[in-house]
Amino acid sequence: MSLIVQKFGGTSVKDAERIQNVARIVTDTYKAGNDVVVVVSAQGDTTDDLIEKANEINPDASKRERDMLLAAGEQISIALLAMAIEKMGCPVVSLLGWQAGFLTDSNHSAARIKRIDTGRLTKELDKKKIVVVAGFQGLNRFDDVSTLGRGGSDTSAVAIAAAMHAKCCQIYTDVDGVYTADPRKVPGAKKLEEITYDEMLELATLGAQVLHNRSVEMAKKYNVDLEVLSSLERVPGTKVKEAVKVEQMLIKGVAKDNDVARISIIGVPDEPGIAFKIFSQLAGEKINVDIILQSVGRNNTKDIAFTVPQSQVKQAVEALKTNPTVMHASSITHDETVSKVSIVGAGMETHPGVAAKMFEALFDANINIQMISTSEIKISVLIAQEDADRAVSAVHSKFFG
């Protein structure tokens, strides 16, 4: 008997019809002889509605009470899904995060799972029940309800799969897999049969938000086989695992990320420790710095440019203005009309032609590259945001066309 963990997001359970659809997928899996644990998110707009109610009363409400409020969302969806499964004649029980044994730290609204006490889950599975678990939520050591923050339900599902040594963890969503580019925008985008954890992590980071990073990191750490597939079409999805078949294509995808801004510090004195002084300050402010470019010195000064998420630009610039090193710079500028376009693929570091091919595609499309960043499995370029969609198409056709 093998255990399959299935996770369904908010759109997959948004109304009675969708819930019945999910119940069919779950009961089919159960009837095929599997143990099944189902993790669900809150229905469609429930979370947004609850946040709106909270903001009307107190926009500065404590995170503790916000977690209490939001956790009601999954409570509703697990009960409704369990009812739909009951109607299909299969034994089922719904469990809240704490009933399923999710113990977290006390970082309300972005709690980390510390462990899962699997006693209740095991007991219910032993009774041959389908177990429907509220994703996104747990309990801290003070017995207070906590939530896991963005991507929380994916993380809940992977955590259960890891703790229960499940055969696999299926993440059902409204797309039927991971594509080489956004299929809504790039006509030739191809669905990938398999992808490695690292590639998936890079693609998630780069704005191809199919799975949240936390869940992929956890899957990699505990070697949980993931599959991304559609809750509406019964077709094979994309498998995420440690290693993929060697005949898989070198480049896995082209992604675009608009949530990026470039900050440039022009004319800082060219002396040792400048980068350290700037970036340690930003790290202290918990600002995520991505691509960094440092110019060759000239007239005893340097230029330093780097990217941050758009939401952190203001904070970063304010902080830098107080930095003794930066105070001697001639100017600080920032540009939010940029976009990061990247290609991802394990093994590209042994194929030097890949970067050149990407740059050629951009050159052919007459797109100017502002910054370049490379890693073992990724090449990113910073370009003007107005060119981004064109850049994705051009690069995609170069590799997959």
Positions touching its own copies (CB under 8 A) are 16, 19-20, 50, 53-54, 56-58, 60-62, 64-66, 68-69, 71-73, 75-76, 78-80, 82-84, 86-87, 93-94, 96, 99, 120, 143-145
3-state secondary structure of 372: strand
Query: 123 or 165: whose CB is closer to its own copies?
Result: 123
Q: Nearest approach, Cβ of 67 to its own copies (angstroms)?
A: 8
CB of 233 to its own copies, least distance (A): 22
CA–CA gap between residue 384 and residue 367 (Å, rounded) = 8
Smallest distance, its own copies to C-beta of residue 71, A: 7
Nearer to its own copies, 47 or 156 (CB): 47
Burial class (CB in 10 A: 0-12, 13-18, 19+), 338: buried
Q: Are strands 338-344 and 378-384 parallel, antiparallel or unpaired?
A: antiparallel
Closest CA to 251 of 341, 333, 184, 324: 341
Answer whether 174's CB lies under 8 Å from 229's CB. Answer: no
Q: Closer CB to its own copies, residue 76 or residue 355?
A: 76
Torsion of CA 377, 382, 386, 391, to 10 degrees: -40
When the beta carbons of 126 and 247 are compared against its own copies, the nearer one is 126
Of the two residues 53 and 128, which places its CB atom closer to its own copies in the complex? 53
> DSSP code of 88?
T
Q: Please, which residue, 17 or 247, has the CB nearer to its own copies?
A: 17
Q: Which is nearer to its own copies, 15 or 386 (CB)?
A: 15
Q: Of the candidates 173, 85, 100, 82, which has an alpha carbon nearest to the alpha carbon of residue 136?
A: 100
Q: How far is the CB of 48 from its own copies (least distance, A)?
A: 14
Q: Which is nearer to its own copies, 56 or 233 (CB)?
A: 56
* 193-217 burial: b if 16+ Cβ within 10 Å, else e: ebbbbbbbbbbbbbbbebbbbbbbb
Provide CB contacts within 8 A for 337, sequence distance 6+: 384, 385, 386
For residues 139 and 287, which CB has a smaller minimum distance to its own copies in the complex? Answer: 139
What are phi and psi for residue 95, nearest 5 degrees?
-130, 135
Least distance from C-beta 31 to its own copies, angstroms? 18
Q: How far is the CB of 7 from its own copies (least distance, A)?
A: 19
The span from the CA of 177 to the CA of 185, in Å, is 15
Nearer to its own copies, 53 or 351 (CB): 53
Q: Phi/psi of residue 317, each to 5°?
A: -65, -45
| CB of 43 vs its own copies, minimal distance in Å | 9
The least CB distance from residue 27 to its own copies, in Å, is 13
Q: How far is the CB of 93 from its own copies (least distance, A)?
A: 8
State the Cα–Cα distance between residues 10 and 172, nearest whole angstrom.
10
Q: How far is CA 152 from CA 12, 126, 181, 198, 204, in A?
A: 16, 27, 24, 20, 15
Shortest Å, Cβ 47 to its own copies = 12
Cα-flanking dihedrals φ and ψ of residue 294, to 5°?
-125, 125
Phi first, then psi: give them for residue 201, nearest 5 degrees: -60, -45
